[in-house]
Structure 1
């Protein structure tokens, strides 16, 4: 997998290329597919087109290219945020406008009203239904900013939600899901009913799974506990190349988090400089009022130029935040989402190992009963039935694990390519915005210098 902070690194993840063409061994006969599958049909839209491409879609433009020569199946815009209520109960509603060419939709275009918890419902449903898929992340919650509901916070969240739903709609496994269709197509009453029904069903199923898992794992003792906790025995049974990828992702999340923090500092410094330049211009304007002649004119020119440059910089700094800071924050969330799916794989492996341990224990008990003269027939039948049931659990756990491995292998390859494309756009946009800031600054100060020299040339000679 390419390092998202090094898009020019060749295929392979981390130094030395931790992703290889070969698959390592695993539990039993389980083997792992290569981490170098063919490219999926058409890459997802780059971050800047998802976030900044509102105008064409909002104006009802035709389907945009996906950057890979194909036609995107969706155009989705999250727009018109409206604050509802006050205090802790306040929330923001959004209009979600979508156009699609998928035949499963009743209409080619839809407009619905959704709030943050509706986006969260979509995310959770996809994560529940599509195990092994790296579901695009939601923007993180911020209780303090949510309480104040400032304009900047609302706009930042709107953009992030737009990125989220476009990521989902461009994902080959997620774009045709029933959950996305209900989210984009159902009116508010229909959607509320859908949420209520699926939430109730998911809650009951989760409780049933939890109760069953608790009862089963309690009977396995310390051996199963160490397996589920992710001890070295699980890693020893995993594909060594995959373990490297997983550990790389863990480190990547940490380093990206630090990069995001520094990006925030950079934007804050540029914002501070922009505000200081405007305030400097205001103070110079007041100072010039105390002077006369060429001195007053020079002060006026400086004040005007400083205030004008400050206003010009505001939009550029906003672009820096939207096209550099926000994508890095999203990259951190995306890597965390990938890590969480890797954790699911670890749990699935531990469950399979625990099931095998349970089967071995039951086989030993059955063998002892058969080898003991005078064993009651009912106990033998019970022990044999326990072995059969344990074999069924092993088979089910192995199938679940192998399915998750296959899905996650494809996902990590897709994730690699998507991160590389996003990072190229990120670095390009950083360079463009910073170059624009520097060029406009140099142009503005050069113009001021010429004006001051002209004023000086027109000054009366000293007596």
Structure 2
């Protein structure tokens, strides 16, 4: 057993200390230094408790409830900053955030990934039918004691995301996890499924925390409706394109489908059901952007344009900060590994000195090497645990980068809705011009030209239908603008809260762990202070 202070250099080490050193196992590789530390750390022995330290930051934020394993067993962050607010520990679920308290849902969990066979799959080779992974989605509303458990596959999450994209245009809809086909082929199956399960759970929590999507019927049906989610026709790309191709000849002949129905203009034309509308809007976009022709309606919200530009600058700053955060995590990881390797080297040195010791001075050096090895191993463990906290807090940067994808989608919805209104207004102007030309040509004929007049009446009917569509498209555009405005205000508030929590948590954890590492090395310096005194005496002599 090692006492809390080192013996003077001119005194032999105790037999008990030598015996402890002789039983020290020698690790073969650097990867084994952590396991060696458990038997090597004197803090795990039955030593008397140390004297109370001077109050410091580490005392204000206790690193461990037990003084016997504060380093070798890395403390959780709840122990590091028990009195501070943590952006993750307050949630019941690891995938939830503090804003989940304002959600209608008290529980959302994705668990029990189970492989299932495709129901319509047929295979001539037994046991080779294609399979998919289904997940158990469990949810419970606040104030409701009932729990709903349904089975969902990844395709169902895609369907949910498509429905939300259609129903909540202009909102910052949280992006769903990607399919990650490449990762599924490279990673181990269990690891890939585990990561996808966690990502899907985080996705559902973000939807539930959204003030507009959380109470929506779309999310409620997904979380509570029994059975499999039907794939809506709107998400079937092949079906949309076939319908659009079938309608195109009638539209070109100015038939009944020449004008988009009011219920269709509230959705973007890129869906594929109305190919003629896609061509018209593409033409309008080219004329406005490259033809130098001012569109009949332009974006005049200066406040929105300023915020949009600021968000673009913010995204660039986020990207840079995220890259630096990854570099920091890598550097801290390297520091922990280097400290561990240093501890292992001194462990081997201690073992050698102990086995080859013939003089008391060798035993003293062995004891001091043991102290350095212990401090290095403890510092390594603290560095790795600190790195975990760093990742947890700086991950806020990555989360907000993901939010920017939703922001771009919402702004794209706004631009698409504006383009639809511009196209319809241009169509109205073109139709009105055609009527004026037909009426002028008919007036030159005595008694009028009945065919031209009949065409004029048809065009007036088309104008009325186009006016109805324009009114619907204009209302949809105004609705998206209002959604953008409210979402920008919400994002501004949440961004300030998240950045403040990130900075507070990051600084607190860095300070607490750094101080504890310094305390470990200060202890080694005190225990080996005899070398300094001896050096001073030699210099004085």
Do Structure 1 and Structure 2 share a fold, with TM-score over 0.5?
yes
Give the C-alpha shift of residue 98 in structure 1: 2.9
- Which of 200, 213, 236 does residue 233 from structure 2 map onto? 200
Q: Does 2:136 correspond to 1:98?
A: no
In the other structure, the counterpart of 2:205 is 166
CA contact (8 A) 1:78 1:97 kept: yes
Could you state the TM-score of these two structures normalised by the residue count of structure 1? 0.73
* SS class of match (2:169): coil
Supply the distance in 2 between the matched residues of 1:152 and 1:84 (Cα, whole angstroms). 14
Could you state the TM-score of these two structures normalised by the residue count of structure 2? 0.63
Q: Does 2:435 correspond to 1:366?
A: yes
Tell me: CA distance 1:148–1:268, structure 2 relative to 1, closer, same or farther (3 Å). same
CA contact (8 A) 2:139 2:148 kept: yes
Write out per-residue CA displacement over residues 343-367 of structure 1, whole angstroms, 9 at most, x where no aligned residue. 1101111110111011000001001
Q: Does 2:252 correspond to 1:176?
A: no
- Which of 216, 220, 230 does residue 277 from structure 2 map onto? 216
In the other structure, the counterpart of 2:331 is 269
Supply the distance in 2 between the matched residues of 1:230 and 1:277 (Cα, whole angstroms). 65
> Which is greater in Rg?
2
Supply the distance in 2 between the matched residues of 1:159 and 1:317 (Cα, whole angstroms). 21
Give the C-alpha shift of residue 138 in structure 1: 3.4
- Which of 500, 503, 506 does residue 424 from structure 1 map onto? 500
Tell me: CA distance 1:74–1:114, structure 2 relative to 1, closer, same or farther (3 Å). same
Supply the distance in 1 between the matched residues of 2:291 and 2:341 (Cα, whole angstroms). 57
- Which of 308, 316, 331 does residue 400 from structure 2 map onto? 331
Structure 1: segments with no counterpart, 5+ residues: 1-46
- Which of 164, 167, 189 does residue 126 from structure 1 map onto? 164
- Greater alpha carbon shift after TM alignment, 252-261 vs 152-161: 152-161
Supply the distance in 2 between the matched residues of 1:231 and 1:135 (Cα, whole angstroms). 34
Give the C-alpha shift of residue 198 in structure 1: 3.4
Supply the distance in 2 between the matched residues of 1:419 and 1:183 (Cα, whole angstroms). 28
CA contact (8 A) 1:256 1:328 kept: yes
- Which of 53, 75, 78 does residue 106 from structure 2 map onto? 75
In the other structure, the counterpart of 1:299 is 369
Supply the distance in 2 between the matched residues of 1:231 and 1:434 (Cα, whole angstroms). 56
Tell me: CA distance 1:437–1:81, structure 2 relative to 1, closer, same or farther (3 Å). farther
Tell me: CA distance 1:97–1:228, structure 2 relative to 1, closer, same or farther (3 Å). farther
Supply the distance in 1 between the matched residues of 2:335 and 2:114 (Cα, whole angstroms). 31
Supply the distance in 2 between the matched residues of 1:182 and 1:419 (Cα, whole angstroms). 30
Pairing 1:240-259 to 2, within 5 Å after superposition: 240-259=302-321
In the other structure, the counterpart of 1:6 is none
* SS class of match (1:403): helix
Give the C-alpha shift of residue 293 in structure 1: 0.7
* SS class of match (2:140): strand
Write out per-residue CA displacement over residues 371-411 of structure 1, whole angstroms, 9 at most, x where no aligned residue. 22243232222222222222222212211111111222111
